[in-house]
């Protein structure tokens, strides 16, 4: 297996973060510090970083300011979402649930859902396809 690095972007021009390899160590605390220190976090209601991506799985760290929301959407894969900091409302067409730090949800593919931060929050999203 070939190691893969992220591609440089305007927001993250360094382009040297390992995102796929036989073993990828992810320093979650360092990633949280990084996304909270970036211009996007200061200028917007959210920021996110993909910390692992391979065929069949993507892991994304998401930070949301208080009252920030992610509009209704669905995914083609099953997701898990863990609240690392803060608390959120997670809403589907069938129900709305409040999640606090330490809570986790699993959701099957193609289910419309939205997320709203009740207070400043950090979420760990895993998408399996």
Edge-to-edge strand list for the sheet holding 121-128: 46-54, 57-64, 121-128, 78-85, 104-107
Q: Look-up: residue for tokens 């036989």?
A: 22
Whether the predicted pLDDT of 105 surpasses 80: yes
Question: What global pTM score does this model have?
Answer: 0.93
Whether the predicted pLDDT of 8 surpasses 80: no
Fold designation for 45-129: Jelly Rolls (2.60.120)
Q: Using one digit for the tens of pLDDT, what is the confidence trace for 58-93?
A: 999 999 999 999 999 999 999 999 999 999 999 999
Domain ranges of the chain: 45-129
């Amino acid at each position: 297996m070939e190691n893969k690095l992220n591609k440089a972007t305007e927001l993250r021009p360094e382009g040297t973060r390992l995102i796929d390899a036989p073993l990828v160590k992810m320093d979650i605390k360092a990633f949280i510090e990084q996304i909270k220190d970036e211009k996007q976090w200061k200028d917007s209601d959210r920021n996110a970083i993909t910390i692992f991506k391979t065929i069949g799985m993507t892991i994304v760290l998401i930070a949301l300011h208080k009252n920030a929301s992610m509009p209704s959407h669905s995914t083609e894969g099953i997701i898990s979402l863990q609240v690392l900091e803060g608390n959120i409302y997670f809403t589907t067409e069938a129900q709305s649930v409040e999640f606090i730090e330490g809570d986790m949800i699993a959701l099957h593919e193609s289910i419309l859902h939205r997320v709203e931060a009740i207070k400043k929050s950090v979420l760990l999203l895993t998408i399996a396809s």
